[in-house]
Amino acid sequence: MWWLYRKGPSGFAGASTAEEVTAGIDGRGLVAVITGASRGIGRETARVLALRGVRVVMAVRDVSAGVRAKEAIQAEIRGGAELDVLELDLSSMASVRRFAAEFASLSLPLNILINNAGVMARDCTRSPDGLELHFATNHIGHFLLTNLLLENMKSACRDSGVEGRIVNVSSSGHIMTYPEGICFDKVHDPSGFNSLIAYGQSKLANILHMNELSRILKDEGVNISANTVHPGVIVTSLFRNRTIVSAPMNTVGRIISRSVQQGAATTCYVAMHPQVQGITGKYFGNCNIANTSSQAVDAELAKKLSNFSLQIVSS
């Protein structure tokens, strides 16, 4: 695991922890929304941002688990931590819209949006809206959420002069997908289903989403960055429904995987560190800008996906 300790231009490495990469950063006055914040790297991201003074809105599917996580974080952080728990089921567009309305009722500005939650299913499953579950949850839910919260973020960055930051948590850009990247017909008709390919194309969509959003925001002259991060190999509850994956991961996890504290580092770095100021449309791994696949940087595919996603959330 020597490669995890090799530092990049940022001065950090794969072995760096979320606390280490945010040391000395003052997040007081900032507000962040983090999806999937009740466990795993989402919970650690919420803890560390709250530790740095950020008010964190924990968007969770299981509210009771979210409340337990909130209480544990508040008990740990001396001087208190500002956290709110709101229900969000990313597989349901109705739930995403309810969350956005509830967040609006808090009358808070939004400075940081971290689209962290994800699902890896074993079987072919449709979302409440009739979409393939991976695509619905990992991409469409976050796409709609981002769109619904974007005006708030634009206002916040204009009023405060502080750069807004949107972070998508994805997998490697070199992931297993259909030859054409995003196979749009599989979104509605998941015949010939392969769960790893379905998961892979949803994670590719996360990267393309940020690339296209970054282009749009730059064209509009808006001071909001949009980037994607890869947390590294971490054994989390994401694999709980994948027996064929979880078994070997649990066996070799001690050798190849990193801790949750290390896994949340790149997310926290991109969300908060001054070094990332003004950097947008990039893919980060080990707290440094990283290379990804040719599909992940395909501008035309990104536009096609954006238009397709807009049609879905508008229908």
| Residue positions annotated with a catalytic role | 199
| Contact in structure between 39 and 236 (CB atoms under 8 Å) | yes
Of 116, 135, 76, 112, whose CA–CA distance to 309 is shortest?
135
What is the C-alpha to C-alpha distance for residues 4 and 15, in angstroms, rounded to an integer?
Answer: 5
What is the C-alpha to C-alpha distance for residues 230 and 5, in angstroms, rounded to an integer?
Answer: 16
Residue 192 DSSP class: T
| Contact in structure between 200 and 193 (CB atoms under 8 Å) | no
Residue 126 DSSP class: B
Indicate the burial class of 207 (C-beta count within 10 angstroms; 0-12, 13-18, 19 or more). Answer: buried
| Contact in structure between 206 and 168 (CB atoms under 8 Å) | yes
Of 112, 108, 117, whose CA–CA distance to 38 is shortest?
117
Contacts of 3 (CB under 8 A, 6+ apart): 14
Of 21, 61, 13, 26, whose CA–CA distance to 40 is shortest?
61
- What token pair was written down for 312? 């879905």
Angle made by CA atoms 275, 256, 121, in degrees to the nearest 5: 90
Of 226, 175, 180, whose CA–CA distance to 202 is shortest?
175
- Phi, psi dihedrals of residue 80, rounded to the nearest 5°: 90, 165
Of 142, 189, 192, whose CA–CA distance to 168 is shortest?
142
